[in-house]
């Protein structure tokens, strides 16, 4: 089954204070690391870049301009995936995702699933809160053994992902749109090192994890 990967790098980086996807990390850019990992499973890598930054491929095969939301950016990337049978969606801001993780999610699709995401179990106690008379109070303690935090890369049968995005709905990840179809989403073990670059300090943390502190 042919594989294409959409690397989503269309954000403005408001919390980072700039375009975090182009920040330097261990001799390459954040996006460059993500594209190289995507290349380990995909014969076609599509980069979704911010408006005005589509002239820099960062090593991708195709570059398209992102939309006003993450979901719109993913749809722009999907449109450039041709006839790939499997589409992997990866956030450029997760530059330390390993080739093994990419292989794991793609392998689940090859084995017959329609969608696969990496997740990590939660070790902290999780509580739902509410506002009451000007105070924040606990309304519920949630069983953490039923919860995971979700990462990318996420892999899908291409036809399933395209059908999920046909509604042009928005979601924080693509699996959420696929879930809305009633489709079964398989979870594989994620990687603690697969951190998301959000704030400037995350670059230093990623360098430490990668063993490439400069």
Whether 76 is in a domain gets the answer: yes
For the chain, percent of residues with pLDDT exceeding 90? 79
Whether 138 is in a domain gets the answer: no
Residue ranges making up the domain that contains 200: 3-119+150-210
Q: Band the pLDDT of 13: cuts 50, 70, 90.
A: low
Q: Enter the pTM of the model.
A: 0.91
Whether 14 is in a domain gets the answer: yes
Whether 181 is in a domain gets the answer: yes
CA distance 174 to 42: 18
What is the average per-residue pLDDT within 85-91?
Answer: 98
Whether 192 is in a domain gets the answer: yes
Whether 39 is in a domain gets the answer: yes
Domain count, the chain: 1
Q: Band the pLDDT of 214: cuts 50, 70, 90.
A: very low
Whether 139 is in a domain gets the answer: no
Whether 64 is in a domain gets the answer: yes
What's the pLDDT at 10? Answer: 77
> Which uninterrupted H or E stretch holds 32?
helix 30-38
- The CATH number linked to 9 is 3.90.550.10
């Amino acid at each position: 089954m042919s594989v294409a990967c959409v690397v989503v790098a269309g954000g403005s980086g408001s919390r980072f204070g700039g375009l975090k996807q182009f920040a330097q990390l261990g001799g390459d850019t954040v996006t460059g690391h993500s594209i190289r990992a995507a290349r380990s499973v995909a014969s076609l890598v599509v980069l979704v870049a911010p408006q005005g930054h589509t002239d820099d491929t960062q090593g991708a095969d195709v570059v398209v301009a992102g939309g006003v939301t993450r979901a719109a950016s993913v749809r722009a990337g999907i449109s450039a995936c041709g006839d790939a049978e499997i589409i992997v969606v990866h956030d450029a801001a997760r530059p330390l995702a390993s080739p093994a993780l990419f292989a794991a999610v793609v392998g689940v699709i090859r084995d017959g699933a329609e969608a696969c995401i990496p997740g990590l179990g939660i070790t902290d106690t999780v509580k739902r809160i509410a506002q009451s008379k000007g105070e924040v109070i606990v309304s519920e303690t949630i069983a953490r053994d039923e919860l995971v935090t979700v990462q990318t890369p996420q892999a899908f049968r291409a036809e399933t992902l395209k059908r999920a995005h046909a509604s042009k709905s928005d979601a924080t990840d693509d699996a959420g749109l696929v879930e809305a179809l009633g489709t079964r989403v398989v979870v594989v073990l994620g990687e603690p090192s697969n951190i998301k670059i959000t704030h400037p300090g995350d670059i230093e943390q990623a360098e430490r994890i990668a063993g490439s502190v400069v």
